[in-house]
């Protein structure tokens, strides 16, 4: 038989096997201990956030079931009981991840030869705070609150994936509107935006005059999805 045909058959067999397994995969959600072990193994191997939808597909169940299993597991996993772990199970609105505990970060970086990146600048933290507490917001809104042009800072935070465009306003020019990302939650040790410290409205957004705030809020309320287009 031609060698090329043999290689093609070899390549097709695993794909067909995986497809058949996916179609016949049983719902494992009733076996919670096993689900926990599988989820831990997947998260450990991934090294990045895994969406509940993907984990649900792996376990043959629903994202809602996976979210509940992960939430309960995180409560046990992150407890101060025995054994004490060097990692923690972090949950986000649509995903979860295994992360190194902050107290061991320096030693991990030393062991792996990782140089720590520079800290966020004061302007970056300021923009992040404005976006986090008022999202979704336009860059013009950010500029108005800060009183300076924020285009460079917004672009820098977007490149770091701490904020992202989530649509455009349905107004002339169709400016982008921005929100924080799951990476923002992870970097600041938050499970959701509900974990943000409570800040009075007048501190989250300085008093710029009610008309300015109301106009900006009304504009943000008229966002529309543009399919992830990122051009200015």
Q: Which residue among 77, 110, 143 closes a domain?
A: 110
Q: What's the pLDDT at 225?
A: 37
Task: Report yes or no on 17 lying in a domain.
Answer: no
Are residues 94 and 139 part of one domain?
Answer: no
Distance CA 141, CA 231 (A): 18
Are residues 180 and 131 part of one domain?
Answer: yes
Q: What's the pLDDT at 178?
A: 95
Are residues 141 and 105 part of one domain?
Answer: no
Q: Which residue among 110, 140, 161 closes a domain?
A: 110
What is the side-by-side strand order in the sheet with 137-138? 137-138, 176-180, 163-169, 223-224
Distance CA 22, CA 178 (A): 37
Distance CA 158, CA 92 (A): 19
Q: Which residue among 110, 144, 163 closes a domain?
A: 110
Task: Report yes or no on 176 lying in a domain.
Answer: yes
Task: Report yes or no on 149 lying in a domain.
Answer: yes
Query: Which residues, other chains included, contact 176 with Cβ-Cβ below 8 Å and sequence gap of 6+?
Result: 138, 139, 165, 167, 168, 230, 232
Are residues 58 and 79 part of one domain?
Answer: yes
pTM of the model: 0.60
Q: What's the pLDDT at 87?
A: 92
pLDDT, averaged per 10 consecutive residues of the chain (232 residues), comes to: 48 47 68 94 93 94 94 91 86 91 87 75 91 92 92 92 90 89 86 84 54 39 36 33
Q: What's the pLDDT at 202?
A: 62
Q: What's the pLDDT at 205?
A: 58
Distance CA 124, CA 114 (A): 23
Task: Report yes or no on 165 lying in a domain.
Answer: yes
Task: Report yes or no on 219 lying in a domain.
Answer: yes
Are residues 140 and 104 part of one domain?
Answer: no
DSSP conformational letter for 60? T
Task: Report yes or no on 115 lying in a domain.
Answer: no
Task: Report yes or no on 50 lying in a domain.
Answer: yes
Q: State how many domains the chain has.
A: 2
Domain of 156 in residue numbering reads as: 122-224
Are residues 166 and 79 part of one domain?
Answer: no
Q: What's the pLDDT at 173?
A: 82
Are residues 155 and 103 part of one domain?
Answer: no
- CATH number of the domain residue 101 falls in: 1.10.10.10
């Amino acid at each position: 038989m031609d060698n090329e045909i043999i290689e093609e058959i070899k390549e097709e067999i695993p794909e067909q096997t995986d497809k058949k397994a996916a179609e016949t995969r049983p719902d494992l959600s009733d076996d919670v201990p096993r689900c926990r072990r599988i989820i831990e193994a997947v998260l450990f191997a991934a090294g990045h956030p895994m969406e509940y939808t993907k984990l649900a597909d792996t376990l043959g169940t629903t994202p809602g079931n996976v979210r509940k299993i992960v939430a309960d597991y995180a409560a046990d996993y992150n407890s101060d009981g025995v054994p004490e772990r060097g990692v923690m199970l972090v949950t986000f609105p649509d995903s979860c991840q295994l992360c190194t505990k902050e107290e061991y970060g320096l030693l991990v970086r030393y062991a792996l030869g990782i140089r720590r990146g520079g800290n966020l600048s004061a302007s970056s933290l300021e923009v992040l705070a404005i976006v986090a507490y008022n999202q979704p917001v336009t860059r013009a809104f950010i500029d108005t609150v800060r009183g300076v042009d924020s285009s460079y800072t917004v672009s820098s935070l977007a490149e770091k994936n701490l904020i992202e465009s989530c649509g455009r306003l349905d107004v002339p020019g169709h400016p982008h509107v921005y929100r924080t990302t799951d990476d923002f939650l992870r970097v600041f040790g938050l499970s959701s935006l509900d974990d943000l410290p409570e800040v009075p409205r007048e501190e989250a957004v300085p008093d710029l005059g009610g008309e300015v705030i109301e106009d900006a809020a009304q504009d943000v309320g008229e966002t529309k999805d543009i399919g992830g287009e990122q051009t200015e």
